[in-house]
Structure 1
Amino acid sequence: MENKRQTPLTPLGELGREQARAVAKKLKSIDADVLLSSDWPRALQTAEVISKETGLNIHIFHNLHEQDVPEIVQGIPDDSEINLRFIHERTKAGKVLDFNWKFEGEGESMSELLLRAKDVCNTLATEYKNKKIIAVTHGIFIAILVATMIFGFDADKKTIVDFFKAFHHHNAGLSVLDYDEDSGQWSLVCLNDHSHLI
């Protein structure tokens, strides 16, 4: 079977559904107040499982979606020439800290992704004040969101790139962050807990 890049419309597979059930059982114990989800199918399907387990209604938060990539690389084989070129150019852009790079001028740049992460941080801190929030999102965006929370909005590019390269969030892994309203700072409580998947 050929491995392909996912698209925004790719649904969960059987493994993804199993992982969603496992994380939902774990999340039942945290007594959350709010369940937010990206509107992309994989996240939304995971949120539906969490909703059934926790009794929380799903609130769609579009800005939790995964990084937009150009249509030309969506759904193509991992080993295709165009995908390999995309990966090579993205890696090269990361090495020179070009946060405005877009593959063939399309998709979402790192600068745009960071602005969206900043918006999500601000929304969580202001609109969901003093609430326990479950936010269902996607791998690349999780890395950028967590980096934005722990290093701040003014973190230098190298710090963001180094964190992004070093951090891989497991599917259905849990990261927990706490916002202190007085200091305006996020603190990392737990990073990428996936013990429920073992």
Structure 2
Amino acid sequence: MALTVYIVRHAQSTSNAMENNLGSDAELTPLGVEQARKIAARARRLSFEVILSSDFQRALQTAEIIKLCTRKKILITPLLREEKHPSELIGKGPNNPRVAQVKRLLRKNRDRKHWHFSDEENFFDLKRRMIKLMKFLERRKERNVLVVGHVMATRMLVGLMIFGENLTPTLFYKMRERMAIWNTGIIAAQFSDRQWKLLTWNDYGHLG
């Protein structure tokens, strides 16, 4: 029997609004709360049995608002966390010279499997975690699941659904540049006969 997964990016956070990496504690903005209410109303019309959420604050807040509207249980998993960036960049904006310097180093070395600037996840680390998430989803007893997660981790997850183990850094970073996911955008995917299929991408019709 097929498994259908609705993947929802969290609503707008303070990090999004400020274009500043505030780490796992970034909360929803007032606009984000309104977006979460709209996706919650939309979710009432979807058929799903459980909500899976990242343990980051912005995802949990989005999931809690969906829960209030749908009365579905939330299960929290760190597998859904956003891609981990170097800790020293937390709290620094995109115009900070140190941020630009570190990002240049990350881009230069992103094909090197064992290279790290500091404590960040590289492509290969994130790929490995998303493979674990896929297996976690495939083993669940529910047939319809709503997932609340983050933009970069979701791109990796979808890349693996399409390309499997053949997903390379080159393919992934092309996807990253060209495949937008709005806050509360919905991606629907289905797992059947040991294969994943992408059904919809970045559906944000509920935002008007």
Q: Name the structure 2 match of 1:177.
A: 189
**Aligned match of 1:191:** 201
Count of equivalent residues:
192
Whole-Å Cα distance in 1 between the matches of residues 142 and 184 of structure 2? 24
Q: CA deviation at 1:35?
A: 0.5
Post-superposition Cα deviations, 1:18-60, rounded to whole Å, max 9, x if no partner, equal 1111111111111211100000000000000010111101100
Verify the 8 A CA contact 1:34 1:131 in the aligned structure 2: no
- Superposition CA RMSD, Å: 1.8
Distance 1:20 1:87 in 2: 31
How many angstroms does 1:5 deviate by?
A: 1.9
Task: Say which SS state the counterpart of residue 127 (structure 2) adopts.
Answer: helix
TM-score of the superposed pair, with normalisation by structure 2 = 0.86
Query: Using the alignment, how far apart are the partners of 1:29 and 1:194 within structure 2?
Result: 14
Q: CA 1:4 to 1:162, structure 2 compared with 1: closer, same or farther past 3 Å?
A: closer
- Residues 165 and 100 (structure 1 numbering): CA distance in 2 closer, same or farther, change over 3 Å? farther
Aligned to 2:163: 151
What residue ranges of structure 1 are gaps of 5+ in the alignment?
A: none
Q: How does 1:40-51 map to 2 (within 5 A)?
A: 40-51=56-67
- Percent identity over paired residues: 28
- The whole-number CA distance in structure 2 between the counterparts of 1:2 and 1:108 is 23
Structure 2 distance, partners of 1:62, 1:117, is: 11
**Distance of 2:178 and 2:115 partners within structure 1:** 20
TM-score norm. by structure 1 comes to 0.90
Q: Name the amino acid aligned to 1:93.
A: N
Does residue 106 (structure 1) correspond to residue 150 (structure 2)? The answer is no
Q: Is the 8 A contact 1:175 1:192 kept in 2?
A: yes
Aligned to 2:107: 91
Distance in structure 2 (CA, Å) of the matches to 1:117 and 1:22: 28
The structure with higher relative contact order (CA 8 Å, sep 6+) is: 2
The structural deviation recorded for 1:155 is 2.7
Q: Could you say what secondary structure the match of 2:72 adopts?
A: coil
